[in-house]
Amino acid sequence: KPQLVASNNRFCRFLEEYCPVVTETYYPTIWCWEGRVQTLLRPFITSRPQVQYRNELIKTADGGQISLDWFDNNDSLYYPDASTRPTVLLLPGLTGTSKESYILHMIHQSETLGYRCVVFNNRGIAGEDLLTPRTYCAANTEDLEAVVHHVHSLHPSAPFMAAGVSMGGMLLLNYLGKTGRDTPLMAAAIFSAGWNVFESVESLEKPLNWLLFNYYLTTCLQSSISRHRQILEKLFDMDLVMKARTIREFDKRFTSVMFGYPTIDDYYEDASPCRKLKSVGIPVLCLNSVDDVFSPGHAIPVETAKQNANVALVLTSCGGHIGFLEGIWPRKCTYMDRVFKQFVQAMFEHGNKIFSM
């Protein structure tokens, strides 16, 4: 059974009644139970539901642009009125876009419930041009603030939630820690977030983890900026950036410099959501596996979570990073998908009961 951590008994009772998956025994796929195996195999095993997006480019205050992919769900039977159709904002991981299988599954789950979704693609990675020499990071929430405001302004009467995965979850937590209750979001779901960046990079620099994950992710980051080389060369030594062999080296030479941090430690401190968790002002459900090499179990802020009545942690012993595969042939639905579906439905349909139970 997963461990449910929450200081608020009413929040616990709410989850037990309307999101019972968090109290059910999670049976990981028996032939890939180890965390690294789950992490590596999920993208290849899980299906990719067909989703038709409507793309929107919005301008930012600094002259940049952000690509949003909308799934309007105009055929929704439960919510035919678009003005009040519940909306879920989805934030993919470090180099992820709206095409990631875990995002497609979240949209598929939302479609069956009648909800609308919009995917926030970080700058420069979804095929759009960089108009300014700026990309994104886990600590800077300005682009997310702009997107939340934009989506809410289009549908001010629609219930509004967000879900973030991996770095998208870190960014969402940092935004919620900054805004407190001053957000149009009614709740959020966080999956496989890295809670303490120092611990995450240290784990990823262990020899086997570097070989399996770190080097590949570093090359993905380099690839995501290489096509914008012309505009980025004005501010960065791109040859040096392209020689990075770890995420830490990439962040030291590129990310921390771009966002004006004196040192990489200053950036990692600011990017770590564990330092902002006390300030979260809306209900948040966070799912992590303690065998996730991207977010080691010992770095999950269990004691801090117990100090905020708005926060609930769901911790599984297996599942890896965005894995949570279950069943003999885990092609269609993961434990993470079920947590997402039940929690967003619980909040949209029964959220007013959360602190009255």
| 328 confidence band (pLDDT: 50, 70, 90) | confident
The residue from 98, 101, 110, 166 that is catalytic is: 166
| 75 confidence band (pLDDT: 50, 70, 90) | very high
pLDDT tens across 1-17, in order? 999 999 989 999 999 99
pLDDT tens across 246-263, in order? 999 999 999 999 999 999
pLDDT tens across 164-173, in order? 999 999 999 9
**Among 5-9, 118-122, 131-135, where is mean pLDDT lowest?**
5-9
b/e 234-266 (16+ beta carbons within 10 angstroms → b): eebebeebbebebbbbbbbbbbbbbbebeebee
Q: Is the pLDDT of residue 175 over 90?
A: yes
* Mean pLDDT estimate for the chain: 96
Question: How far is Cα 307 from Cα 290, in angstroms, rounded to an integer?
Answer: 20
Domain boundary assignment for the chain:
3-196+276-353, 197-271
Tell me the pTM. Answer: 0.97
Can you give the pLDDT at residue 228? 97
For the domain made up of 3-196+276-353, give the CATH fold.
Rossmann fold (3.40.50)
337 is catalytic: no
pLDDT tens across 183-223, in order? 999 999 999 999 999 999 999 999 999 999 999 999 999 99
105 is catalytic: no
The residue from 256, 292, 295, 337 that is catalytic is: 292
Q: How far apart are the first and last CA of the chain?
A: 24
292 is catalytic: yes
Can you give the pLDDT at residue 296? 96
Can you give the pLDDT at residue 357? 64
Closest CA to 288 of 265, 311, 266: 311
The residue from 108, 155, 228, 321 that is catalytic is: 321
Question: How far is Cα 192 from Cα 200, in angstroms, rounded to an integer?
Answer: 12
Q: Is the pLDDT of residue 356 over 80?
A: no
Higher per-residue confidence, 140 vs 32: 140
For a pLDDT cut of 70, what percent of the chain falls above it? 99
Mean pLDDT across the stretch 174-191? 98
Q: Is the pLDDT of residue 285 over 70?
A: yes
pLDDT tens across 330-340, in order? 878 899 999 99
| 57 confidence band (pLDDT: 50, 70, 90) | very high
Tell me the two tokens of residue 286.
């966070």
Query: Rounded to whole angstroms, what are the CA distances from 229 to 116, 135, 140, 224, 257?
Result: 35, 12, 22, 10, 16
Can you give the pLDDT at residue 331? 79
Q: Is the pLDDT of residue 33 over 80?
A: no
Tell me the two tokens of residue 224.
């995501």
Question: How far is Cα 140 from Cα 175, in angstroms, rounded to an integer?
Answer: 8
